[in-house]
Amino acid sequence: MTHKLLLHVGAPKTGTSFVQDLLFHNPKALAEQGFVYPADRFDAHFLAALDLMELPWGGLEKQAVGAWERLAEQVRDEDRTVIVSHEILAAASRPQVRRAMDSFGDTEVHLVLSARDLVRQIPAEWQENVKHRRTVGYRDFLDTIMDPARPGKLASWFWSVQEVPAILDRWGESLPPERVHLVTVPPPGAPPELLWQRFTGVLGLDPAPLERGSGRANPSLGVPETALIRRVNGRVNHGVLGGDPYRALVRELLAHRTLSARTGSARLSLPEDAQAWAVELSDRWVAALEKKGYDVVGDLAELRPGPAAPFVDPDAPDEEQVADAALDAIVALLRHEAAARRADRDRERALREELDLLRRERDDAWGRFYGRASYRARQKLVRAADRSRFLALLLRGYRKARGRSSRSA
């Protein structure tokens, strides 16, 4: 019997990390429902996507050699329903999509794309750029993506992962529209579990047995916090901080674990001109999508932006707020450093204790050895040989016969 693949290709910033976290941490609950999320590490599908799309990603691509084919083989070999999910797959070009589809053999592919309105996606994408070391200002970012020519890598990447009709057109080209599932992200203020319900609905999963994952998510930052990270980037780029420490310290410790907790600051939004442009573009998208006959989970109207939120310019943030965020960042780094030192001390103490224990064991062993009657007798004999020529000759003969030149007892 042909088995199914639920291929979730994004888009970024639509709750994908949350979904992947739950799927990765619940293999047993999934298996009980006839599903499998084939990943031996959290980022397995990310690596597969890098391989498929030949994307360099700060050195991670070296771990991705052959990852897509391995994943595709798992998909082909399964008889359960397979779920594959990564948001950068949204950017796959047509030849890459063809290769991916071909690699699944006769598996029944269902495409899933989660989508959120542009007015929330645009600031989120800029913020994501900032969290990936970019220093581009918000206005420059907006001007770049609003340029119809889509100049440069920034704009082409943005549209490759955010242009909902184009993504579905690429990925859905070889699929009947009923196998293309568009999950819309509910508007602000909707119950938080609604999106998850929509996801599980389209996947055909009973969410009840699924336990919480690691809590991994991709939390958002406010205006001063994003401005701060952008300024930090300006200081640590160009070789000051390598890829790994940047990911651990700036993105994880500062952005995700520290600054995202400052929820009282102004949120990113669009200035008036960009808001109007986004609304007009969204209308065109909705009109195009309505004609396609895709399976919409939620409501296409949710892709139309809601009322404009007050705009606070992250290129000219309130400096006091930025300074306050910087203080929080310094405190977080100090605590991190203190914890690292404590851990170093603990490790050193543990090593010392282990060393002491080994020394005591060694001394005990020597003590037992020296205390033996046979050892004491031999020691007495050696001392006597120092006084007796006969015994000395005898001892030399014995050592020669034994084949050892050492004179120690």
Partner 1 sequence: MTRSVSATFDAVAWSWVDHLRHRGCTPWLDWVARPDPADPLVAGRLPGAAQLETVRRLAARPRSAEVPFTDLAELVLDRAAPGRGPDDLPLLWPHGDAREGFGPPPVDPARIPASELVRVLVGALAELLVRTPDEDRPAHRTRRRRLAVVGSPALAPALRATLGRGEPAGAGVVVLAEPMDELLGQTWTLRMRRGGIAPWPRHVERCARTGRLPRAADSARTAAHWAERVGSDQVHLVVARPGEEYDAQRAAADALGIEIGDAAAPRRRGPGPAQAELLRRLNQVLRGRTPADRHRALVNRLVPLLAGDPRAHRLTVPARYEGWLRHTAEQAVHRLREGGFRVHGELDALLPAAPDTSGPSDWDLLDLALDTCLAVAGGPATSVVLTSGGARR
The smaller minimum CB distance to partner 1, of residues 163 and 302, is found at 163
Selected range binding partner 1 among 19-27, 45-53, 256-264, 355-363, rule: CB under 8 A? 45-53
Query: What whole-number distance in Å separates Cα of residue 297 and Cα of residue 18?
Result: 18
Q: Map tokens 């009657």 to a residue.
A: 373
Stretch that binds partner 1, among 116-124, 142-150, 297-305, 390-398 (CB under 8 A): 142-150
**Number of residues this chain uses to bind partner 1 (CB under 8 A):** 38
The alpha carbon of residue 298 and the mean position of all alpha carbons in its chain are separated, in whole angstroms, by: 27
Binding residue for partner 1 (CB under 8 A) from 32, 79, 173, 206? 173
Pattern 228-267, partner 1, x by CB under 8 A: ----------xxx---------------------------
In the complex, the smallest distance separating the C-beta of residue 3 from partner 1, rounded to whole angstroms, is 23
Q: Are 246 and 130 in contact (CB under 8 A)?
A: no
When asked if residue 166 is in the footprint of partner 1 (CB under 8 A), the reply is yes
160 binds partner 1 (CB under 8 A): yes
CA 308 to chain centre: 32
CB of 49 to partner 1, least distance (A): 11
Q: What angle do CA 280, 286, 290 make, to 5 degrees?
A: 150
Binding residue for partner 1, selected from 285, 322, 325, 395, defined by CB under 8 A: 285
Q: How far is the CB of 346 from partner 1 (least distance, A)?
A: 33
Residues 298 and 187: their CA atoms lie apart, in Å, by: 10
Distance CA 282, CA 300 (A): 10
Of positions 23, 29, 50, 203, contacts partner 1 by CB under 8 A? 50
Beta bridge partners of 5: 82, 109
By beta-carbon proximity to partner 1, the closer residue of 99 and 247 is 99
Q: Which of 7, 11, 44, 53 binds partner 1 (CB under 8 A)?
A: 53
Q: What gap in Å lies between CA 272 and CA 263, rounded to an integer? A: 24
Exactly one of 56, 219, 245, 397 binds partner 1 (CB under 8 A); that residue is 56
Q: Which of residues 63-102 bind partner 1 (CB under 8 A)?
A: 64-65, 92-96, 98-99
**Smallest separation (angstroms) from partner 1 to the CB of 97:** 9
Interacting residue ranges for partner 1, rule: CB under 8 A:
50-51, 53-56, 61-62, 64-65, 92-96, 98-99, 148-150, 153, 156-157, 159-160, 163, 165-166, 169-170, 173, 238-240, 284-285, 287-288
